[in-house]
Amino acid sequence: MNPTLSDAPEAGDAFLRGVEAAHAIASPQQLFIWLRLHLHRFIPHDLALCWADAGREPGGAGVRVLNCVPLPDALTSGLADPTARLWHVLAERWAQGGERARWLALDGLGDDLPAHLGRAGFSQVLVHAVRLGQRQRADLLIAFLRQSPGDPSVANQALTALELWMPYLHFAFVRAEEAVLRRPASRTHDGTARVLTARELQVLTAVRDAKANAQIGLLLGISPLTVKNHLRSIQKKLGAHNRAHAVAEAMSRRLIS
């Protein structure tokens, strides 16, 4: 059962731990981990989307796509486009609903992105937003999607939970984006910026999607040993200790989404 603050003292303690942990967020990867460790208990999800108004959030953050399940590259790219019509429609429906958290059926949102999400196994989206001051549109819009909707009571509890969590979600997102802006670019010994090659980005994207070296080799037409060598190079360039750290570093620097 999805917990609410009224069901048990443990849920209240979990809420307070989540609020406290939000203050330690220092990268988009940590935001992802925070969502999984703390928010997922209250709002089960396989995909979290954060759209920020480029004129208000630090650096014009655009969109963060935080997925727990593999998504087609074309879908990820589409969702990461802050100008996609889907964002306008979600913000409009949120406003029409009295600026409260609400569930929306994807098949009623039109456009290609909802259809692609439907083919990826999603049917509904839980959406809420923050509008600061007297502005006419949302400053930050958060959307959660689940491939298995499950018990309707869980959906109702998630709706209530999102109302409660939204201020802390906003805070956590801003901290993650500010950390990206503060982080200096990683550089080589001669002062030039460190970059990953196209092949290294392909390998790291596959690692992000939880593929093993043998699977990556089959996907890219290279040997598992070559994959291993690419990973060593990636970790060295990013200053990462392991493959998971490399993915976190690449996401925080926006080398991969």
Give me the residue spans of the domains in the chain.
9-182, 198-252
Tell me: pLDDT of 4 over 60: no
Looking at residue 184, its pLDDT comes to 52
* Tens of pLDDT, residues 23-66: 999 888 889 999 999 999 999 999 999 998 754 444 444 888 99
Q: What is the CATH number of domain 198-252?
A: 1.10.10.10
Q: CATH 3.40.190.10: does it fit domain 9-182? A: no
* Tens of pLDDT, residues 118-158: 999 999 999 999 987 666 677 889 999 998 866 788 899 99
Looking at residue 42, its pLDDT comes to 94
Q: Residue 33 corresponds to which tokens in the numbers above?
A: 């981990």
Identify the three-state secondary structure at position 89.
Answer: helix
Looking at residue 2, its pLDDT comes to 47
Looking at residue 34, its pLDDT comes to 94
* Rounded Cα–Cα distance for residues 99 and 168 (Å): 17
* Tens of pLDDT, residues 144-200: 999 886 678 889 999 999 999 999 999 999 888 877 666 555 454 444 345 788 888
Interior CA angle at 35 toward 31 and 40, to 5°? 175
Would you say 25 and 31 are in contact if contact means Cβ atoms under 8 Å apart?
yes
Average pLDDT of the chain is: 84
Q: What is the CA radius of gyration of the chain?
A: 19
* DSSP character at residue 137: S
0.85 exceeded by pTM: no
